[in-house]
Amino acid sequence: MGSSISFPEVEISPERTYLITGGNSGIGYIAAREIARMGGHVIIACRNMVKADAAIKRMQEEYEEHLTSKQSPADISELKKLNIEKMELDLASFASTQRFIETFKARNCALDVLICNAGVVTDKEITEDNHELMLQVNFLSHFIITVHLLPILLKCGEDSRVMSMFWLNRHLKDKSVSIISLHPGFVDTQMTRQNIYSKYFVSGFAKKAVDGGATTIKAAVDPNLQGQSDIYLDLCKIKSPSSLSRLVKNCSMRESQ
Ligand SMILES: NC(=O)c1ccc[n+]([C@@H]2O[C@H](COP(=O)([O-])OP(=O)(O)OC[C@H]3O[C@@H](n4cnc5c(N)ncnc54)[C@H](OP(=O)(O)O)[C@@H]3O)[C@@H](O)[C@H]2O)c1
């Protein structure tokens, strides 16, 4: 992995819980696997439980293969079971999103980092709630989850984080939780392979998912980002958001004055 897109390998306390939406595939899969390897408790929130089970099994197998290729048989005997579990969540349905929130709250478990990762790229599909599918999956349902789980995040000590692929900062910036927006780059995943516009460019230009996950992992685990808020990570580097999003932010600040 090149130095420009690397994340720090840290030891994570097993007490820290990372919730990743869409952790069964692509960038979310890599982030879930690497955070669990570092020791964190990971929950992947997925719409398809069969895919979720298969992903968890594969993460464990890849972890074991990785260790066997690097270590002596003595070290391998200490091989741990990754602490990853699944929960059901269909972001295209407000009913499912609400059920997920209630189930999560009922567990009474901690939440240190919420990674709003799941997403789709579609054209004009409409959900059962009468919203454009991409808007509901990528933005609205994540926003609802964030607002409902924020009290749990706020209770979880000094380093709680919410990460999103696009927005959020201006809505939550006064809270004592780090809000990190990020862009992973152009990454070879099921999303880019299936999209009618991007699929022709994937083989020549896209990063492998294993590198594309680096920005998400850095945002989730880098100790240097503790306490920072309203930041934007692009390919693992803190950058200024585009002029268009700065314009939206300025408009919103003027509205609130
Ligand atoms: N790849 C890129 O170049 C790129 C660039 C910029 C931003 N991003 C963002 O990165 C994030 C991850 O995307 P990816 O590239 O890793 O694509 P991906 O491999 O297609 O992963 C997307 C994940 O979202 C899940 N998902 C889709 N609809 C869902 C729903 N209704 N409810 C719950 N989960 C749902 C998918 O589940 P299923 O497996 O069941 O479909 C999958 O786990 C997305 O937010 C995307 O917008 C990606």
Domain extents in the chain = 10-256
At 140 the pLDDT is 96
- Beta-strand ranges (E) seen in 122-196 are 161-164, 178-183, 187-188
Ligand 1: residue of 25, 90, 194, 235 to mutate (most ligand atoms within 8 A of CB) is 25
Fold (topology level) of 10-256: Rossmann fold (3.40.50)
Dihedral (CA of 68, 74, 77, 82) sign: negative
Q: What is the pLDDT along the chain (257 residues), one digit of tens a residue?
A: 444 678 999 999 999 999 999 999 999 999 999 999 999 999 999 999 999 999 999 999 999 988 888 766 666 666 789 999 999 999 999 999 999 999 999 999 999 999 999 999 987 899 999 999 999 999 999 999 999 999 999 998 889 999 987 666 666 665 678 989 999 999 999 999 888 888 888 888 899 988 999 999 999 999 999 988 778 999 999 987 766 665 555 555 455 44
Ligand 1: centre distance to CA 176 (Å) = 28
CB 93 within 8 A of CB 139: no
CB 8 within 8 A of CB 34: no
Ligand 1: centre distance to CA 136 (Å) = 13
